[in-house]
Amino acid sequence: MCGIVGYVGRRDCTDVLIDALSKLEYRGYDSAGIAVFENGSIKVAKSKGRLADLEKKMDEEERPLGNAGIGHTRWATHGEPSDVNSHPHSGERVTIVHNGIIENYKILKEFLVSQGRQFRSETDTEVVAQLLDYYYDGNPLDTIIKVMHELEGSFALGIVFADFCDTVYAVRCESPLIVGVGSDESFIASDVPAILKYTKDYYLLEHNEIAVLNNDGVKIFNLHKKEIEKELKTADWDMDAAEKGGYEHFMLKEIYEQPTAVRTTITPRISDGLPNLEECGITYDKLRNFENIYVVACGTAMHAGMVGKYIIEKLARIPVTVDIASEFRYRDPLVTDRDLVIIISQSGETADSLAAMRLAKNLGAQTLAIVNAKGSSIAREADMLIYTHAGPEIAVASTKAYMVQISVMYLLAFELALAAGKISEDECRRLTGLLQQTPEYISDLLEKKEAAQYIASSLITADSLLYIGRGLDYALSMEGSLKLKEISYIHSESYAAGELKHGTISLISDGMPVIAVATQTALLEKTISNIKEVKARGAKVVMVCRDSYEFENDIADYKFGLPDIDDIIMPMIAVVPLQLIAYYTSVLKGNDVDKPRNLAKSVTVE
Ligand code: AGP
C-alpha cells in the first residue's frame, strides 16, 4: 500500500506535500517523492528511504518551489525500493504517482517498448506514465479516460501534465482517494489524516471517477466526461486524533484509546440493554436463517474472527468457519446462498479480504463487513455493514481495531443467539451488560504497564517463545504471538496448549519463555497441566490469568493478573497485557514500533 497526496493553492506546495506525506508514512515508507510545478515546468525530487531522506536530498540538491504538485510514499510491490523505482514516474509530458497494482502492466509495457518507448524503472507505475504520454493529445481528461479503459487492476493516481500548469488530476479505480477542499486550495490524499491540518472537508472519490484540481477549484467527472455533483463530507477526526497525543508512539496511544473506542463502537448499537444493529441494516429476521457462518479476514482481523467463532458457536449454536482470506479465495469454498460471510477489516482495503468478499457474493452468500475505515472498498461493497468507531489506527500493529472488532463480534453473537432462540432476552441483556462494563476493566489494566514492562524485559533476549491457551485463550494467544512478532522481530508461535505433547513440546529448552493465557475456568486445570509440562522442561512461564488464582511456583514464574469477570467476556480484557507486553518488548529492542520493518498498515496488494 502506498500514500498519494496532491495540492493546488497558495501555500508552498513542497511544504504541504511533505507534511501530508508524513501523515501517510504508515501506508508505506521505503521510498518517497514529489513533483511540483516550478516556473511552468514540473520539478521532480524522489529517493529511496524515509521521508526524512527525501527532505535531506532536497536540502542538498534542489527543493522544488511552487504552488501545485503531487507526492508519494511507497511500499514496494513491483521493483525493489530504490531511487529509480520511487515515485513520481514520468513520461515526456506526464508525471504520476500511483497506489495499487496494474495487473496487465507487462503486456502494456511490451506494446510501449514496441512503439519505441524506453523505461528506467521496474515498476508498473512507469507503464501508466508512459501510456498516458503515448496517448496524450493535448487533452488531459480524454487521455486519462482512454488509459483508464486499458488498465486492469486496482489503482489510484495523481497526475500532472506539463502543458497544464498548476493543475492536478486524480483518478480512483478501487484504491482509496479523497479530494480535500479548503479556502482557495484543494488536496488529494489516500487517507484523511493527510489533509486534517488544512481542512476537514473532502469529497470521497468513487470507483472510476476523475478529479481536476486547479485555481478555479475542484471538478469531478465520470468516465463519460460528465461532471458529477458529490456530497462534501466532513471528517470527524481532528488533528489530535491523527497525531500521537503526547504518547511516545501511535501504538501506545491506540492501546490507551481502547476504552473509548469500545464505548464509541458499542453504545450506539445497544438499546434497552439489548444489541440493536438496525442502524447497520441488520435485523433479527435477517440473522435468523443462516445455516453456516464464515469469518474471512487477514492477520489480526482474522484473530478477531477466531474469538467471534468461539462466542457465536457457544451461544448461537451456528457453525462458524474462520478462514484466512488468501486461503478462502482459492480453496473453492462450499459457500451457499444460505450462508453468511463476515469480512473483518480495519482498513477495508485489504486486497485478499476484498476479493474474498466478492467471491462470497458471487457464490450467493450474504456478506457482512466489520470495517473501521469509513467509505472503504469493503465497506461499500458489503451487503451489510457494521462500522467500528476506533478512529484512525496509524500504527501498523493493530490494537484498538482488534478490540472493537471483537466487541462487534460479541454484539453479533448475542443478537444471533437471541434471534435463534438459544438465549433468553434476560440472558442477552446480562451478556450485553458484561460487554458494556469492559471499558472500565480495560482502563484498570492499562494502569498495570509496569507489569508488562517487567515481563517484556524478560523476553528481549529470547530467540523464540510460545503463546499457549485453550479455547478462547488459544484464540487470544494467536493475537498475542502476532503482536510480539511483528513489532519486536522475536519469533513466537501460538499453540493450542493441549496439542503441545504431539510434537511441539520438543522445542522447549531451558529458559524458553512461554506465555500461558489461562482465563477459561472450565479449562483451567487442563491448561495448568500443560503449563506444568513445559515448566518441567525448563520453560520460563508467564501466566495471564485471574488475579485471584493462586499457584505454586512449580507452575509459573510470573503472573499478569486480571479482574474476576465472566469467562465469556475475558478476551476483551485479556488481550490488553498481550498488547502491552509486545509494545514494551519492541521499545526495549529499540525498534520502530509504529512502522516495523517489511510491513505496511494495509496490504492492498495480493
Ligand atoms: C495487524 O497487527 C497487522 N498489521 C495485520 O495483520 C492486519 O491485521 C492485516 O493486514 C489485516 O488488515 P485489515 O484489518 O486492514 O484488513
Give me 489's grid cell: 522481530
Lowest average pLDDT, out of 9-23, 408-422, 488-502, 540-554, goes to: 540-554
Give me 185's grid cell: 486550495
The answer on pLDDT for 546 being more than 80 is: yes
Cα dist from 61 to 35, 44, 55, 97, 338, whole Å? 15, 11, 10, 21, 63
Task: Count Cβ atoms within 10 A of the Cβ of residue 327 and give its class: 0-12 exposed, 13-18 middle, 19 or more buried.
Answer: middle
Output 194 or 376, whichever has higher pLDDT.
194
pTM across the whole model: 0.76
Return the sign of the alpha-carbon dihedral for residues 592, 593, 597, 601.
negative
396 Cα nearest atom in ligand 1: 4
Q: What is the pLDDT of residue 285?
A: 80
The answer on pLDDT for 185 being more than 80 is: yes
pLDDT digits (tens, 9 = 90+) for 415-465: 999 999 999 999 999 999 999 999 999 999 999 999 999 999 999 999 999
Q: How far is the CA of 348 from the centre of ligand 1 (A)?
A: 10
378 Cα nearest atom in ligand 1: 16
d(CA 68, CA 161): 12
Q: Specify the residue with its C-alpha closest to ligand 1, atom 16.
A: 345
183-205 mean pLDDT:
94
279-285 mean pLDDT:
81
Q: How far is the CA of 468 from the centre of ligand 1 (A)?
A: 22
Q: Specify the residue with its C-alpha closest to ligand 1, atom 9.
A: 299
27-38 mean pLDDT:
88
d(CA 396, CA 417): 34
Q: Specify the residue with its C-alpha closest to ligand 1, atom 5.
A: 299
Q: How far is the CA of 602 from the centre of ligand 1 (A)?
A: 6
d(CA 595, CA 600): 7
d(CA 378, CA 347): 9
Q: What is the pLDDT of residue 77?
A: 64
pLDDT digits (tens, 9 = 90+) for 479-509: 999 999 999 999 999 999 999 999 999 999 9
d(CA 494, CA 482): 8
Give me 428's grid cell: 442477552
Q: Which residues contact 554 (CB under 8 A, 6 or more apart)?
A: 532, 535
Lowest average pLDDT, out of 240-254, 282-296, 489-503, 592-606, goes to: 240-254
Ligand 1 pocket: which residues have CB below 6 Å?
298-301, 345-347, 350, 353, 396-398, 486, 602-603
Q: What letter represents residue 340's amino acid?
A: L
SS (HEC) of 118-164? CCCCCCHHHHHHHHHHHHCCCCHHHHHHHHHHHCCEEEEEEEEECCC
Count CB neighbours of 52 within 10 A.
13
70-90 mean pLDDT:
85
Q: How much is the mean pLDDT over the chain?
A: 93
Task: Give the residue ranges of DSSP H helices in 363-424.
Answer: 377-381, 400-419
Q: Specify the residue with its C-alpha closest to ligand 1, atom 3.
A: 397
Radius of gyration (C-alpha) of the chain in whole angstroms: 25
Q: How confident is the model at residue 552 (pLDDT cuts 50, 70, 90)?
A: confident
The answer on pLDDT for 27 being more than 70 is: no
d(CA 183, CA 11): 11
Task: Give the residue ranges of DSSP H helices in 420-471.
Answer: 425-446, 449-459
Q: What is the pLDDT of residue 480?
A: 98
Q: Cis check for the bond before 88: say yes or no (omega within 30 of 0).
A: yes
The answer on pLDDT for 239 being more than 80 is: no
d(CA 144, CA 224): 11
Please choose from 300, 484, 594 the residue to mutate so as to test ligand 1's pocket, defined by most ligand atoms within 8 A of CB.
300
The answer on pLDDT for 87 being more than 70 is: yes
Q: How confident is the model at residue 357 (pLDDT cuts 50, 70, 90)?
A: very high
394-422 mean pLDDT:
96
Residue 601: active-site member: yes
Q: How many residues are given for the chain? A: 606
Q: At what angle do helices 400-419 and 425-446 cross, to 10 degrees?
A: 170
Q: What is the pLDDT of residue 247?
A: 84
Give me 104's grid cell: 496487465
276-293 mean pLDDT:
85
Output 435 or 599, whichever has higher pLDDT.
435
Q: What is the pLDDT of residue 79?
A: 73
Q: How far is the CA of 333 from the centre of ligand 1 (A)?
A: 22
Residue 374: active-site member: no
Give me 587's grid cell: 521499545
Q: What letter represents residue 65's amino acid?
A: L
d(CA 514, CA 500): 12
Q: What is the pLDDT of residue 241?
A: 66
Lowest average pLDDT, out of 44-48, 277-281, 429-433, goes to: 277-281
d(CA 72, CA 476): 37
The answer on pLDDT for 374 being more than 90 is: no
Q: What is the pLDDT of residue 594?
A: 94
The answer on pLDDT for 341 being more than 90 is: yes
Burial 406-419 (b: 16+ CB within 10 A, else e): bbbbbbbbbbbbbb
517-534 mean pLDDT:
96
Q: What is the pLDDT of residue 391?
A: 81
The answer on pLDDT for 100 being more than 90 is: no
Q: Which of 2, 13, 280, 545 is catalytic?
A: 2
The answer on pLDDT for 553 being more than 90 is: no
Using DSSP bridges, classify how beta strands 168-173 and 209-214 pair: parallel, antiparallel or unpaired.
antiparallel
- Closest by CA position to 205, among listed 193, 184, 188: 188
Q: What is the pLDDT of residue 242?
A: 67
Instruction: Find out whether 576 and 560 touch, Cβ atoms under 8 Å.
Output: no
Q: How confident is the model at residue 26 (pLDDT cuts 50, 70, 90)?
A: low
Q: What is the pLDDT of residue 283?
A: 82
Q: What is the pLDDT of residue 28?
A: 64
The answer on pLDDT for 266 being more than 90 is: yes
d(CA 176, CA 3): 10
Cα dist from 75 to 37, 365, 597, whole Å? 25, 34, 11
Task: Count Cβ atoms within 10 A of the Cβ of residue 245 and give its class: 0-12 exposed, 13-18 middle, 19 or more buried.
Answer: middle
Reported as half-sphere exposure (CB side, CA atoms, 13 A), residue 40 has a value of 1
The SS3 assignment for 30 reads: coil
- Closest by CA position to 592, among listed 396, 300, 391: 396
